[in-house]
Amino acid sequence: MKLPEKLVTLRKQRGLSQESMAEQLGVSRQAISRWEQGSAQPDAGNLFQLSRLFQVSADYLLDDTMDHPVQPAPSTSADPLKKRRLAGLLLAAVGLLGNLVIYILSRIIAVTVTTTYHIDQIQQSYQSNETIHSWKYFIQVYDLEVLTALLCFLLVGGVALVLVSWPPVRSKLFD
């Protein structure tokens, strides 16, 4: 079977008109008509789109000796939800690990904090320098606010991505 016959057969099997097929492929109806009459050939890009539209290989479309489409091999790619869940887990892990590293460093490395006390009645101020281990002051002293915010965002975003792609939660949200 030649390409024009295959195109007509596949289009009719899918219940498509020339116009709807042309719309899906982004070409004119006249182009579809010329392809089906054999007066013109689709270019490589259109062949690729045709093979995707009809779920057949480009080999089947081009090879006149093949009368039946070869069944495509089962997809080896993982389920999109599994990929999304894995991406969410990785984002959450990076966020959690980064914040954990900052927390551990804040417990190891002491920072000096200057506190100023104003005594209004006497009109004096008193300064105190303390060396402490504090996550909050560690972030301030080493200017890690943006990094910490980014890591927190990754953690929350990752957890949200995992929850949205988790089937029980997904069914409640989107059904």
Q: Rounded CA gap, 166 and 163, in Å?
A: 5
**Tens-place pLDDT, residues 114-172:** 888 777 776 676 677 888 999 999 999 999 999 999 999 999 999 999 988 887 777 77
pLDDT at 157: 96
Q: Rounded CA gap, 158 and 93, in Å?
A: 8
Phi-psi region of 11 (alpha: psi -120 to 50; beta: other; left: phi over 0): alpha
Q: What is the pTM of this model?
A: 0.51
Q: Where does the chain hold its CATH 1.10.260.40 domain(s)?
A: 3-62
Distance of CA 73 to the CA centre of its chain: 25
Find out whether 130 and 115 touch, Cβ atoms under 8 Å: yes
CATH topology of domain 3-62: 434 Repressor (Amino-terminal Domain) (1.10.260)
pLDDT at 173: 72
- Spatial CB neighbours of 120, under 8 Å, sequence gap ≥ 6: none
Average pLDDT over the chain reads 86
- Spatial CB neighbours of 63, under 8 Å, sequence gap ≥ 6: none
